[in-house]
Amino acid sequence: MPAVVTRKNQADIRDPAVKNTFINGINAFNSLSTSRGEIGGSYGTLVAIHRHPHKFHSADGDVGTQRFLTWHRVYLSVLEFWVSSIPNYQNFYIPYWDWTVDRNIPNWLQNFKPHVNIPNTESIPPTPSSVEPVDVSRTPPPPGQDGEFSLPTENKIKDCLRKPTYTEFTMTLEGLHADVHAWVGGTMRDLLTSPADPLFWMHHANIDRIYTSWREQHADNSDTIPILSGLDLNMDPWAGTEPEYRHWDWVAYDKLITV
Ligand SMILES: [Cu+2]
């Protein structure tokens, strides 16, 4: 796993080199062959993992609900691991997008919409014919205007952070998280393609920051930990179980939320 990294709010990043590392690092990862042998070892194959049956959303049933936060926590870390292992990108990390404050797509990402070849199979290496090419697209409402979907407000996030049990908390947060996917629209709205949009990672970094904030305020007991047992504890396709990622120390945030 990568060394300790502190994820910062994208709005507070003044050093253009940090933004360039994010953009160019993803581009470099995206230019690696999708037939590289490792699971998720290129951007396209990592994106493809989001379409495989690992149970990580409520749409996958109760187990998916319980795994949503931990699974995505690992997923983000895997992106950081792979990109930071490319020469010149060892400082790569995922800044978070706090959409409760920054109510538009951040300026510096407006034009960062890569072309991603997503393999349609989990077999490594994938066969070339099974690759789905995606040009990242977005359909947010015009700045300042209301659209069909809205970004969660600070109050909604604070209400969510006050949920006393893990199940209530994660179900509420997953619902709010889905509003962001729908608000951004296009590639982000479809779970078969959403991680192809670099905004996915910055959005989920904010979700993980909210989870970290909640965790800090709750001692572990049967009401406050994910309800998982047996193989469901494994964060497949990666190694490690839910308890190992619950109080992790290799990723931190510049700011947590207190309620
Ligand atoms: Cu998501």
Q: What is the pLDDT of residues 170-227, one digit of tens each?
A: 999 999 999 999 999 999 999 889 999 999 999 999 999 999 999 999 999 999 999 9
Whether residue 125 is predicted with pLDDT greater than 70 in this model: the reply is no
- Work out the average pLDDT over 69-78: 96
Provide the pLDDT for residue 131. 82
Helix (H) or strand (E) segment spanning residue 218: none
Whether residue 1 is predicted with pLDDT greater than 90 in this model: the reply is no
Mean pLDDT score of the chain: 92
Q: Which residue has the tokens 């970290």?
A: 212
Query: Peptide bond preceding 141: is omega within 30 degrees of 0, i.e. cis?
Result: no
Which has the minimum average pLDDT: 24-38, 103-117, 190-204? 24-38
How far does residue 204's CA lie from ligand 1's centre (Å)? 6
- Work out the average pLDDT over 21-32: 96
Whether residue 230 is predicted with pLDDT greater than 90 in this model: the reply is yes
CATH number belonging to domain 5-253: 1.10.1280.10
Query: Do the beta carbons of residue 44 and residue 118 sit within 8 Å?
Result: yes
How far does residue 203's CA lie from ligand 1's centre (Å)? 7
How far does residue 206's CA lie from ligand 1's centre (Å)? 10
Closest C-alpha among 257, 249, 258, 259 to residue 5: 249
The rounded percent of the chain whose pLDDT value lies above 90 is 76
Provide the pLDDT for residue 30. 95
Higher-confidence residue of 35 and 246: namely 246
Provide the pLDDT for residue 35. 64
3-class secondary structure, 83: helix
Distance from C-alpha of 237 to C-alpha of 33, rounded to nearest angstrom = 20
How far does residue 31's CA lie from ligand 1's centre (Å)? 24
Closest C-alpha among 91, 112, 114, 108 to residue 42: 114
Joined together, the tokens standing for residue 7 give: 């994820």
Whether residue 37 is predicted with pLDDT greater than 80 in this model: the reply is no
How far does residue 129's CA lie from ligand 1's centre (Å)? 27
Query: Do the beta carbons of residue 152 and residue 99 sit within 8 Å?
Result: yes
Closest C-alpha among 185, 209, 216, 232 to residue 66: 232
Query: What are the CB-based long-range contacts (under 8 Å, 24+) for 57-60?
Result: 57/174, 57/191, 58/171, 58/174, 59/191
